[in-house]
Chains A and B, each alone.
Chain A
Amino acid sequence: MKMDTKKIMATFAILMIALGIAGFAYAHWSETLWLSGTVRTGSLCLEWSFDAVLPPSNLKDLDGDGYVDDPVATLTYAFTDADNDSCNEGLTVTLGNAYPCLNVNGTIDIHNCGTIPAGIAKYNYTITDPDGVAGGIELINVDFYLIDPSGGKHLITMPIENWIATVNQIDPGWSLACDFEIHFTEATPEGATATISAWIEFWNWNEL
């Protein structure tokens, strides 16, 4: 029994030593925190949309086939995606064979197809009009408005230049649109060509 006590004590001692060793080993408790960082930048993306119509009276039976389906004036437009980012950054509109009293109704639209609000930073345009076509064009109606992602229209009641100077923000999914109606007056010159080239540079809204 006494021997058993010694054995037990020895066992405890060994255990204590072992625990001590183990305790020493566990004495360096550690806790590791880790950080995984990902930065995803947004996309600043804007694109054109355009639609315009000529009046039904513009259709005539010019080819004599018995059907009134040939346009006198013609309106074509094309989009360009030069950088293949699936956004139309270029718009080319051509109105041909225009004549006095012709009316053209349309909507031109700049859509924010990205994830960052954008605003107009710079713009410029060049008009080439040697024959004075512009002198025969009358703006009947021009309305600017914002279109929300659900299609709701929000009329911009201030002059557009004031809007650019103050609000100037197109949120993602929204569009800045312009409804227009132009009229060719009697001052429209015959056989003339006028061109306009314009560009608009947008910045992320917070840097404007």
Chain B
Amino acid sequence: MTLLKKPKTAVPAIFAIALIALSIVGFSYAHWSETLWLSGTVRTGEMCAEFVPPITTTDHGNDWTCDKGLINVRQINKDIGNSTARSIDTNNDGCNDTIIVELNNVYPCYYEHIAFWIHNCGTIPWRIWRVIFNPGGIIRYGPGYLQLDLNGDGVNDIEIYWGDNFGWQVDPCEKIDISFDIHILQPFPEDTTLPFSVTIEMVNWNEYPPP
């Protein structure tokens, strides 16, 4: 009899026990956690340009000459001067970054035409932005004619016509052909070695400022 009545009186106790159990359960589940993770990698590309063969000169026998202004180019009947052009890797990175041009035993009115290829050996397209001629720091943003005073005596010793391909987009693995004319002017002193340099600057294709 007593047992049969117990269910009535046990209900609140069951609730109490359930609440205690829930609170214990709730306590045990506290600090649920979920973790997200992120892995990010940024690899930058490489802009690379190199001279590649063929690097050609015009004088392979009788010399060439022209009139001032690099006009009326013609071959003459003597093999007096000679020219060479070769590429070298000055920083040993596996890319030929410099062309050594040597004009030997040349004389006023001697003419040479030098052609070469520039190859995109990187992963980013580039464009030729400008060419800087020294001495004088003359900057050209497009093809054209200029004169250089190689010994600083106030008179120009050579004249150059630099060819095209400024601004042309060169994609990775592509190459472009560039050439220039050089003409020895009358004031060039005898029996003298005078250097000049040309620096070709490329920019990644998307930052080329049109002239």
Q: Which residues of A contact B41 (CB under 8 A)?
A: 92-95, 193-196
| Inter-subunit contact A99/B36 (CB<8 Å) | no
Is A207 in contact with chain B by the CB < 8 A criterion? yes
Give the contacts of B1-26 with A (CB-CB under 8 A).
Answer: 1, 4-5, 7-8, 11, 14-15, 18, 22, 25
Is A35 in contact with chain B by the CB < 8 A criterion? yes
Question: Which of B4, B25, B29, B44 contacts A189, CB < 8 Å?
Answer: B44
| Inter-subunit contact A190/B125 (CB<8 Å) | no
| Inter-subunit contact B207/A60 (CB<8 Å) | no
Q: Which residues of A contact B171 (CB under 8 A)?
A: 60-62, 64
Complex Cα gap A157–B123 (Å): 41
| Inter-subunit contact A207/B45 (CB<8 Å) | no
| Inter-subunit contact A89/B35 (CB<8 Å) | yes
Is B34 in contact with chain A by the CB < 8 A criterion? yes
For the side of the interface on A, what is the size category?
Answer: 35 or more
Complex Cα gap A102–B42 (Å): 12
Q: Select from chain A the residue with minimum beta-carbon distance to B37.
A: A199
| Inter-subunit contact B46/A190 (CB<8 Å) | yes
Residues of B within 8 A of A (CB): 1, 4-5, 7-8, 11, 14-15, 18, 22, 25, 29-47, 122-125, 169, 171-172, 174, 204-207
Residue contacts A-B, CB under 8 angstroms, 12 given = A44-B32, A46-B36, A64-B171, A92-B41, A99-B124, A100-B204, A101-B204, A136-B44, A193-B43, A196-B40, A197-B38, A198-B39
Residues of A within 8 A of B (CB): 28, 30-33, 35, 37, 39, 41, 44-48, 57, 60-62, 64, 72-73, 89-102, 110, 114, 116, 118, 121, 125, 133, 136-137, 184, 188-204, 207
Minimum-distance CB pairs A-B, first 9: A97-B45, A191-B46, A199-B37, A44-B32, A198-B38, A196-B40, A92-B39, A94-B41, A93-B40
- Apart from A35-B18, A194-B42, A197-B38, list 14 A-B contacts with CB within 8 A: A28-B1, A32-B7, A91-B36, A94-B40, A98-B45, A101-B206, A101-B207, A110-B36, A125-B38, A190-B45, A190-B46, A190-B47, A200-B37, A201-B33
